[in-house]
Amino acid sequence: MVNEKYLFRYLIDKLYRDNYLREDEIVFLLENVKLYGNDYLIQKADETRRRVYGDRVFMRGLIEISNYCKRQCRYCGISALNPKVHRYRLTKEEILASCDKGYGLGFRTFVLQGGEDSQFTDDLLTDLIYEIKERYPDAAVTLSLGERSFQSYRKLLGAGADRYLLRHETASRELYESMHINSSYDARLEALRNLKRLGYQVGAGFMVGIPKQTKADLAQDLLFLKELDPEMVGLGPFIPHRDTIYRDEEPGSLEDTLTMLALTRLFLPYALLPSTTALASIDENGRELGLKAGANVVMPNLSPVHIRDDYSLYDGKVSSGYEAGEHRKSLEKRICQAGYKVDMSKGDHIRWKSN
């Protein structure tokens, strides 16, 4: 036992130093973290984030542009499989009005996220991106609109998009295939590689606590990220949605999510790592605990208030209070109380060095 405790700490120190561990070493940490606790791991993750980005927490304004989706992700509340969703699609004017509100509040990154909605054609999106970049040349545009072709990603980049978020969801092919109908693991990874190749700042990421997910699967997520080397990583707990086949499953836990956040920070010291809404949705203090475990980005919601509840990816998704862009000041207070400070700049990845 004494040896195991020693090994546990030794591996955390090794990860802190090398930003890498083998699969069996990660699995060992995951198997023993309940017994020995994740305090030391979290402390090392926080030290790493402070060394690279200091105590800054970057803010992004999230605009949920459409909940129409042609994909059939079995866990997702807005999947095409769910006939009960009230579907909406924001107009160009509504999206620009959301950006305008966000810009006034100080946001310098707009994240346009949505389901895979074929009405959002390349022409429509390029027109929209041009317009946003023309109005707010000092702001970044991040897209999160699922899988599109190489040509499409190229056009959107040409129009001025800076970043693209596309979680890999899980690095286990088997698990990925069991969670999606008519979607291919290879196509997802190909899309991520295309985004990288084109020169976007890319965000990958995964869910923690997916039913049947093993510790080896989670280790693979970290190794996959290490290899892809994305600029951003979105990770949060899996949370069941009442209209999906996972309705009776347990959500991913706070502790497991914090452990994976801290490990991700140590594997990718330079990553921009949001403390996600899903984490804030499973625990009142989730947002702050995520920051303390190595996260350094927060994405408050700037979508028009009347549609926020319709973008229901999972049950209990928080969309008001501190999650809302309008309450930036109270969120700022909480971030300061947690020991960090808000940075409203565009907040590019260190490799881009434009701030």
In the bound complex, what is the minimum distance in angstroms from residue 177's beta carbon to ligand SAH?
Answer: 16
CB of 140 to ligand SAH, least distance (A): 18
Q: E strand or H helix at 93, and its extent?
A: helix 92-105
Which lies closer to ligand SAH via its Cβ, residue 239 or residue 295?
239
Q: How far apart are CB 165 and ligand SAH at their closest, in Å?
A: 7
Where b means 16+ CB within 10 Å and e means fewer, 240-255 reads bbebbebeebebbebe
150's tokens: 């190489």
CB atoms inside a 10 Å sphere around CB 330: 12
Neighbouring C-alpha atoms within 13 Å toward the C-beta of 187 = 10
Shortest Cβ distance from residue 32 to ligand SAH (Å)?
A: 26
**Residue 126 Cβ, how far from ligand SAH at the closest point, in Å?**
19
Residues 6+ away with beta carbon under 8 Å from 281 = 239, 314, 316, 317, 318
CB closer to ligand SAH out of 73 and 263: 73
Q: Closer CB to ligand SAH, residue 267 or residue 314?
A: 314
- Which CB, 166 or 260, lies closer to ligand SAH? 166
Q: Given the structure tokens 């295309």, which residue do they identify?
A: 194
Minimum distance, C-beta of residue 210 to ligand SAH, in the bound complex (Å): 8
Please choose, from the candidates 166, 172, 126, the residue with its C-alpha nearest in 3D space to the C-alpha of residue 147.
166
Residues at the site binding ligand SAH, with contacts judged by CB under 6 A: 75-76, 113, 115-116, 144, 146, 166-167, 169, 207, 236, 238-239, 241, 278, 313-314
What is the rounded distance in angstroms from the CA atom of residue 209 to the CA atom of residue 249?
A: 10
Residue 141 vs 239, nearer CB to ligand SAH: 239
Nearer to ligand SAH, 102 or 205 (CB): 205
